[in-house]
Amino acid sequence: MGKVKTLDDLRKLKDELKSKTSLRDKSEHPESMVQIKVAMATCCIASGSRETINYLADELEKRNIEAVVTQTGCMGYCYAEPTIEVTLPGKEPIIFGYVDEKKADEIIEKYIRNGELVEGIIPMNYKNIEDTTK
């Protein structure tokens, strides 16, 4: 077994990362990136949202997609957990339900990469006639 990682190793990693000019703090320009919120209340956690958030964060990095992945409370769609809200730059947010790892993979490849809608959308963006005539 190799040596267990220590804070000294972290210092080396920091020097390496800081020397890369492409590095920037994502939180400075979140609107220019894909933003994903994963619901993480009790109902969501019991349904697997921990695996969903970790999968999304790992896979987006592996696939070189600049994104900010954060958590939010229960969005009220407990029947469809795990739920996530995805906002592509310049677009309205869309909520997807039943997002396990397989569905998360499909959302990354189809919606995030190509803007193609996939099954499992929760229609929270629906506007009624009063809204549209205001």
Partner 1 sequence: MKEIALHILDIAQNSVNAGAGEISIEVWKNEKDNRTGFRVRDNGKGMDLETLNRLNDPFFTTGNKKTGLGIPLLRQHAEAAGGILHVESEINKGTLIRAEFELDHLDRQPMGDVLSTLISLLRAYPEREWLFSYQVNDREYSFNTRDIKTELDGLPVSHPRVIRFIRDMLQENMDALSK
Enumerate binding residues for partner 1 (CB under 8 A). 4-7, 9-11, 13-14, 17-18, 23, 25-27, 38, 40-43, 45-46, 50-51, 53-54, 57-58, 61, 69-71, 73-74, 76
Shortest Cβ distance from residue 88 to partner 1 (Å)?
Answer: 20
Tally the residues of the chain.
134
Shortest Cβ distance from residue 107 to partner 1 (Å)?
Answer: 18
Beta strands in the chain (DSSP E): 34-39, 67-72, 84-87, 94-96, 121-122
Question: Residue 58 or 116: which CB sits closer to partner 1?
Answer: 58
Question: Residue 52 or 103: which CB sits closer to partner 1?
Answer: 52
Question: Residue 20 or 134: which CB sits closer to partner 1?
Answer: 20
What b/e readout covers 115-128, taking b as 16+ CB neighbours within 10 angstroms?
eeeeebebeeeeee
Contact 52/99 with Cβ under 8 angstroms?
Answer: yes
Shortest Cβ distance from residue 54 to partner 1 (Å)?
Answer: 6
Question: Residue 18 or 127: which CB sits closer to partner 1?
Answer: 18
Name which of 6, 93, 85 is nearest 39 in CA terms: 85
What SS3 state is found at 35?
strand
